[in-house]
Amino acid sequence: MSQEPRIAPPNETAGILYAGAAYAIWGLFPLYWDLLANVPPVELSIHRMVWCALFAAAVTVARGRAATVWGIVRTRALILPLTVSGLLIAVNWTIYIWSVAAHQLVEASLGYYITPLLSIALGVVMLGEKLSRLRLAAIALASVAVAFKTLQLGHIPWVAIGLSLSFGFYGYVRKRTPVQALDGLAIETGLLFPFTAGAVLYWIWSGTSAFPAPDFRTNALLLLAGPVTAVPLAMFAAGARRIRLTTLGFLQYFSPSITLLVATVGLGEPFTRVDLAAFGCVWIAVILVGIEGQVARSAARQQA
């Protein structure tokens, strides 16, 4: 086990600001998608992919990364996992935007709280990592949280599970694929572009498209979906290079916490006692994982 540096990495304050701002933007995303409530969720997700692909391509050229990205596209060992990650993030975006339209944001925030715990389980199953008692308890508590939501809803909480599975596996695939964040986003959305652009053109041709809309605001918000998606990812990448992984792990809960506040305070979704029980299980699980990490770091310092 590598020893964590005893001093802060260079520019850690800047890194916290970058990463924190990225997570804050992600947490506030529901307010943006709610402004486009007049656009069907699937169509809105497709537009997000189209304009993100075009914006990412422009940024790639502006950064002088076109040759690098083309080299990645021609490398079979990289393009296959990026195709998978592109499909996973498309599924994640679609479920998330649907959850905003269907007023299921509380469940969506639960899904993103569960995601880091799912990543622990994936590390055990897919990478053969050891599972400590505290982490096992944390995963068990996450399972109890899902059971609480299932009892409340009368069916499996597919929004929470779908978001956590799609983003958890997305993180796993991207972790195993040595490609920069913005390069990966350009390729992922670029691979889907023929299908997403084709869908938009078909809707326009059939006269059922929300774009171009009669009002300027809808058109502008749809076009801005590209940079709104790419900019926080760039900020996150800039922050991740400057701060400890432990700090980054703590900040990742910033986003679902903001989303939960947006859902309950901003958009008026109910937060029931069952929700409190489910989230309580997850919050305790998060604390257990944090304690386990602190104990492991202390042991590593003593050994050093």
Please tell me the distance from the alpha carbon of residue 25 to that of residue 255, in angstroms, as a whole number: 8
Residue 5 placed within a domain: no
Closest CA to 140 of 112, 168, 165, 121: 121
Residue 237 placed within a domain: yes
Residue 183 placed within a domain: yes
Residue 4 placed within a domain: no
Number of domains observed in the structure of the chain: 1
pLDDT (tens digit per residue) in 206-251: 888 888 888 899 999 999 999 999 888 888 877 877 776 656 666 7
Of 32-36, 75-79, 120-124, 274-278, least confident by mean pLDDT is: 120-124
Cβ neighbors of 17 (< 8 A, separation 6 or more) are 239
Please tell me the distance from the alpha carbon of residue 158 to that of residue 162, in angstroms, as a whole number: 5
Question: If you write DSSP's letter for every residue of 179-214 in order, what string do you get?
Answer: --HHHHHHHHHHHHHHHHHHHHHHHHHHT--S-S-S
Query: Both tokens of residue 83?
Result: 């195709």
The chain-wide mean pLDDT, for the chain, equals: 85
pLDDT for position 126: 75
Residue 3 placed within a domain: no
Examine the pLDDT at 10 and tell me if it is beyond 60. no
pLDDT for position 3: 44
pTM over 0.85: no
- Structural domain including 88 reads 12-303
